Amino acid sequence: MGVRPVEVRTLGPCSQSYAMFAELHGRELCLWGYENIEGDNVSARIGLTAAAILAMTSVVGCTTQATQASAPASAHASPASPSAARTSTKPTATGTTTPTASPTATQQAVSAKPVMARGSSGAQVRELQARLKQLGHFTLSPTGYYGTVTATAVRAFQAKHGLPASGTVTKTTWTTLRSLTREPTNAAMYPPTTRPVAKLDKRCLTGRVLCISKTSRTLSWVVDGKVLRSMDVRFGSQYTPTREGTFTVNSKSRHHVSTIYHTSMPYAMFFSGGQAVHYSADFAARGYAGASHGCVNVRSLSGISALFDQVRVGDKVVVYW
């Protein structure tokens, strides 16, 4: 029964112009900036001639657009304002010019917007981990969960390539990583275990058995001596050890919550008192740095969910060294 730490993070899109994202102590802050048109002391004199209106300027959203008059410009037009000085122009087919707004802080902030961060999970995280592994920054097999180990690997990659070492995957980080690595195969993204599966105990060679080795820290689903599925597992600490021996699955609970520790135990398959085989988000996030309260923790969510549907009450469970 692993305990998953919950991190509360503040993320929010900046819709105003000149928005910037900055990371402070692992949390993203949205700093708002406003263009004070009045404070710029910008004045424009609009001269009316017999021909037409010289020019009108309208502010739309975060960019400035000019509405051109149909008549030629008057010789009495006022000097260009500071705002206009920041706008480059391009000639059009008719000889007139069309303003092109310079990049704003909002556009610059897009590259800093998180694509993946701590707490993210899924296939894209597996791809991230597989690509980082190609470069030697991620040493485990992909788990699909963005935890401390993944953040450390991302930070190392960013530092090596001159990017802000935030540990969060921004658009720039993701683009750079993809350009330096090859597309990972399905086998690379979804390995069965992170370590070799131990030799099966002789008690696992007949019938339907959850064969669990403490030596290799793996679980194998065995039917009539044939291994159909394997996955990484971890066990209880020295103070709450996982019991060894031969047992049977006595009950199953897909959305179980511990009545003792009040923690989630998804896909629980009980085999000895309160000890069960179940998924652990903490194991997925921290790996073998933690331990259970006696249960057999499974790291792969997809693996345990599929196994849960195959195992029946009454199937054998063997826990051995």
Residues 190-205: tens digit of each pLDDT:
887 877 788 999 999 9
Check whether 228 has a pLDDT greater than 60: yes
**Residue 190: its pLDDT value, please?**
82
Cα separation values, 96 from 73, 74, 320, Å: 11, 15, 83
* Whether domain 202-320 has CATH 3.50.50.60: no
pTM: 0.48
* DSSP H or E segment with residue 116: strand 114-116
* Whether domain 114-189 has CATH 2.40.30.110: no
Tokens of 33: 């900036």
Tokens of 284: 């997925």
**Residue 192: its pLDDT value, please?**
74
**Is the pLDDT higher at 264 or at 66?**
264
Q: What is the band of 108 on the pLDDT scale with cuts at 50, 70, 90? A: low
Question: What is the average pLDDT value for the chain, to the nearest integer?
Answer: 75
Domain locations along the chain: 8-38+104-110, 114-189, 202-320
Strand partners, 65: 58
Check whether 224 has a pLDDT greater than 50: yes
Tell me the average pLDDT across 28-53. 33
Residues shown for the chain: 321
**Residue 104: its pLDDT value, please?**
60
